[in-house]
Amino acid sequence: MNKEKIIRIDVVSDVVCPWCYIGKRRLEKAIEGTQVSDNVQVKDIEIIYRSYQLDPSVPKEGVDFQDYMKNRFGAGFISKFHQVEQVAQTEGLGFDFASLPKAINTFTLHRILTVALQDGIQAEVKEAFMKAYFIDRQDLTQENILIEILGKYGWLVEKTLEIINSDIKTDEVKEEMNYYRQLGVTGVPFFIFNQKYAVSGAQPVEVFKEILEKVSKEMEVEMISGEVCDVDGGNY
């Protein structure tokens, strides 16, 4: 018998992490596959994106991507990232690291995503940010770009600017980052299923499917009918 279940997945990730985007796609494919599985019918899966910064030292205004990557990985970084581009292509993601305009500080984006979670649009905004950065190669340090993206989800210009130019959700994001560091998360993406099973890295779709089915089966409770005492005093 199929019963409605809710599986919660906490995804620790950064907007500018390429493996996080690849892992996101693979998880989505796993969820889609699990939904039609003969073994389990998952009625609802709740995904919450948690804050993580790959490099919090990047200036707020960002820096030239090519210069940043050369300083961090050496002059041949493009060839080193070619494999990532090839993997991304298999997931339908057209990465081109040579065309990215900036390395950016993502703290403000995480504050926005925290507000978006409250508004029930976090998943949509997360996807929009990652697509804008990796696929459309937009500069997410620019207010007008963020205004345009968030406007598609009903946010007024004033709301977006208020968040950008304030410390809204600053403490919450810092606490969240610190929490996952204390849990031992040192790299992303990092997936936590029902606060019980942890998976590090952009695992293959089949790995995610196996975990989803395992978690779902553990949540199944078979109801066995028998004689009971009810609140109306019957069945004595």
Tens of pLDDT, residue by residue, the chain (236 residues): 345 568 999 999 999 999 999 999 999 999 998 865 555 555 689 999 999 999 999 999 999 999 999 999 898 888 889 999 999 999 999 999 999 999 999 999 999 999 999 999 999 999 999 999 999 999 999 999 999 999 999 999 999 999 999 999 999 999 999 999 999 999 999 999 999 999 999 999 999 999 998 998 887 753 334 455 555 555 54
Contact (Cβ atoms closer than 8 angstroms) between residue 42 and residue 31: yes
Contact (Cβ atoms closer than 8 angstroms) between residue 193 and residue 215: yes
Contact (Cβ atoms closer than 8 angstroms) between residue 208 and residue 192: no
Please give the single-letter amino acid code of residue 14.
D
Structurally, how many domains does the chain consist of?
1
Q: Is residue 225 part of a domain?
A: no
Q: Is residue 235 part of a domain?
A: no
So what's the pLDDT on residue 33?
84
Residue 62 Rama label (left phi>0; alpha psi -120 to 50; beta): left
Q: Is residue 224 part of a domain?
A: no
So what's the pLDDT on residue 41?
57
So what's the pLDDT on residue 4?
59
Q: Is residue 231 part of a domain?
A: no
Q: How far apart are CA 146 and CA 136, in angstroms?
A: 13
Residue 41: φ, ψ to 5°: -120, 105
Domain range for residue 85? Answer: 6-219
* Residue length of the chain: 236
How many CA atoms lie within 13 Å of 122's alpha carbon, on the beta-carbon side? Answer: 20
Which residues is 171 bridged to in the sheet? Answer: none
- How far, in Å, are 37, 46, 221, 224 from residue 22 at the CA level? 23, 19, 34, 43
- DSSP annotation of 99: G
- The enclosing domain of 136 has a CATH number of 3.40.30.10
Q: Is residue 10 part of a domain?
A: yes
Token pair of 69 as six digits: 């990557």
Q: Is residue 145 part of a domain?
A: yes
* SS3 (DSSP) at 87: helix
Residue 134 Rama label (left phi>0; alpha psi -120 to 50; beta): alpha
Q: Is residue 1 part of a domain?
A: no
So what's the pLDDT on residue 131?
98
Number of other residues whose CB lies within 10 A of the CB of residue 151: 13
Q: Is residue 209 part of a domain?
A: yes
